[in-house]
A and B are shown apart, each in its own frame.
Chain A
Amino acid sequence: MAFVDHSKQQEILRPVKSSFIVLSLTLAMVMNLLPIEGLAITLWPDFVALTILYWCINQPQRAGISTAFIMGLFMDIGNASTFGQHALAYCIMAFVALAFHRRLSIFGILKQAPQIGLILFVGQFIMLLTGLLDGSPFPGRNFFLPSITGTLLWPFFSSLLRMPQKPRSDNDVR
């Protein structure tokens, strides 16, 4: 299955620096903590989840469930939610991404998007469950909008994260 023609998708990328992974996760956290209001807040995708998914799919040796767990704890503090709520959701999302990372990396970025959307949806569903168990009312269908915007954003987002690893231009390699 892995020998199917991968076209230009499979260009050989340069190795990722660990510092870049940490930097991207930190920036994603800042994006999540931006003080936004109104319509934007219902549409704002969970950038930390997207970043974790990207690294789980593309660097499964470096980023794993433990990364997701730690980022989840930070997001719990930032979002003032019950300690462990985001951690649980991120762990399960990272697990799904790691379990399917070989399959997902075969697909092109565009074809990955709907599957990423499904993983994001699973994560949100877990958060919804923990919220409901805590006694909150159902927050309305808009609650799931961020996973849709996250899906739409995935192609741009993953090509942005891939940019620093792009091989140098041809005349460099020769």
Chain B
Amino acid sequence: METAPRFFRHGPSLLARLVFFVMLSLILMAVDTRFKYVAEVRHVLSAVIYPLQKLATAPIAIYDNVSEFFKGHHLAGENAELLQQKLFNQGQLQRLQALEAENAHLRKLLDASERVEGKAVMAEILHIPRDPFNRKVMLDKGSQSGIQLGQAVVDDDGVVGQVTRNYPWVSEVTLITDKDHSVPVQVLRNGLRSVVSGTGKEATLELRYMAGNTDIQEGDTLITSGIDGVYPPGLPVAVVSKIERNPAYVFARVTCTPIAGVGNNRQLLILSMLPSTPEIPPEVIELKPNNKKREKVGVR
């Protein structure tokens, strides 16, 4: 082997190279899931891949623009319809404003903290990853547009997910159906609090650890409770679709369906505020040494 000319020498053997790279990827996987140290590397690589993502969505964007152009002659009718809709909405909005004012007044009377109102940033879905092991989407707005980690993402019907990674021009949203994602909710009918978790399956959520005799019915609407400090309170999340109460088990099996079209939207709203959470009083911290975990409800 030592006499082999330079051309035939290839450095370490194939197997050695394989072992090296396999170890490297295993270490990367462990570091990424457990310690989140590789965020910087991810940022750099995402900047490289961003033009490709843009290029991949270009045909769809062009198609949209062209079809919009040809839809031009429907505009007059649509405009009239929209005007009507606007009038109707304005009526409703006025009622809402009155209610809001009344609510603020009553809250002030009760000395309760006012609910923080936030702005929303519109973002478009850039790419839906094909990985069947996580439910995520990439949006075309990133930290350059002021998107921060942990912001809630909604569509016109309800909660879609939460920003879990923000790259400069792209952000990654974990959908509520992801297996590692939970949302603190309340049953709209009776105010029962719980946490709804994703299952990793399409359009399926579940309420875990609900006792068999809990007052919950099929068709109940779940709204965000807001106690996590991540999701603003009152956003619709899911509808209870199936309850299995088996006396053999301690807990009932509650399956829910998300209200928002989690998988079938192009435009989404990123709610650009995190409601200020009241500080935890010092005596609670003393009582609960593991208070770190509470801050992370919903993120995991």
Contact with B along A78-101 (1 / 0, CB 8 A): 111111110110011001001100
- B179 engages A136 (CB within 8 Å): yes
B55 at the interface (CB under 8 A from A): yes
- B32 engages A79 (CB within 8 Å): no
- A33 engages B17 (CB within 8 Å): no
Q: How many residues in A have their beta carbons less than 8 Å from beta carbons of B?
A: 45
Q: Pick from A2-10, A14-22, A61-69, A154-162 the stretch touching chain B.
A: A61-69
Provide the bound-state CA to CA distance between A66 and B24, in Å: 11
Contact of A30 among B33, B55, B125 (CB under 8 A): B55
Q: Which residues of A contact B45 (CB under 8 A)?
A: 73-74, 77
Contacts A77-B49, A87-B25, A91-B18: A33 and B127 contacting too (C-beta < 8 A)?
yes
CB distance from A19 to the nearest CB of B (A): 17
CB distance from A127 to the nearest CB of B (A): 8
- A84 engages B26 (CB within 8 Å): yes
Q: Pick from B130-138, B237-245, B252-260, B288-296 the stretch touching chain A.
A: B130-138
Secondary structure at chain A's binding surface: helix, strand, loop or mixed?
helix
- A80 engages B26 (CB within 8 Å): no
Contact of A41 among B38, B130, B172 (CB under 8 A): B130
Contact of B130 among A72, A79, A92 (CB under 8 A): A79
CB distance from A106 to the nearest CB of B (A): 19
CB distance from A47 to the nearest CB of B (A): 11
Q: Which residues of B contact A69 (CB under 8 A)?
A: 21, 24-25
Q: Which residues of B contact A26 (CB under 8 A)?
A: 52
Provide the bound-state CA to CA distance between A82 and B264, in Å: 24
Provide the bound-state CA to CA distance between A72 and B29, in Å: 12
- A99 engages B49 (CB within 8 Å): no
- B179 engages A80 (CB within 8 Å): no
- B133 engages A139 (CB within 8 Å): yes
Q: Which B residues between 122 and 154 are near A, CB-CB below 8 angstroms?
A: 125-134, 136, 138
Provide the bound-state CA to CA distance between A41 and B129, in Å: 10
- A65 engages B33 (CB within 8 Å): no
- A65 engages B56 (CB within 8 Å): no
- B28 engages A35 (CB within 8 Å): no
Find the B residue at minimum CB distance from A29.
B52
Q: Which A residues between 129 and 168 are near B, CB-CB below 8 angstroms?
A: 130-131, 134-137, 139, 143
- B33 engages A66 (CB within 8 Å): no
Contacts A79-B129, A81-B131: A137 and B179 contacting too (C-beta < 8 A)?
yes
Contact of B136 among A32, A80, A85, A87 (CB under 8 A): A80
- B134 engages A65 (CB within 8 Å): no
Find the B residue at minimum CB distance from A83.
B32
- A82 engages B179 (CB within 8 Å): no
Q: Which residues of B contact A172 (CB under 8 A)?
A: none
Provide the bound-state CA to CA distance between A64 and B46, in Å: 23
Find the B residue at minimum CB distance from A31.
B56
CB distance from A122 to the nearest CB of B (A): 13
Provide the bound-state CA to CA distance between A134 and B46, in Å: 23
Provide the bound-state CA to CA distance between A31 and B180, in Å: 28
- 19 additional A-B residue pairs with CB within 8 Å, beyond A83-B41, A137-B200: A33-B127, A35-B57, A37-B128, A61-B10, A69-B25, A73-B28, A77-B46, A78-B49, A88-B29, A91-B18, A92-B18, A95-B14, A95-B15, A98-B14, A99-B14, A130-B133, A134-B133, A137-B201, A139-B133
What are 19 contact pairs spanning A and B, CB under 8 A? A29-B52, A34-B56, A34-B59, A35-B56, A65-B17, A74-B49, A78-B127, A80-B172, A83-B32, A84-B25, A87-B28, A88-B25, A91-B18, A127-B133, A130-B29, A130-B133, A131-B132, A135-B179, A136-B179
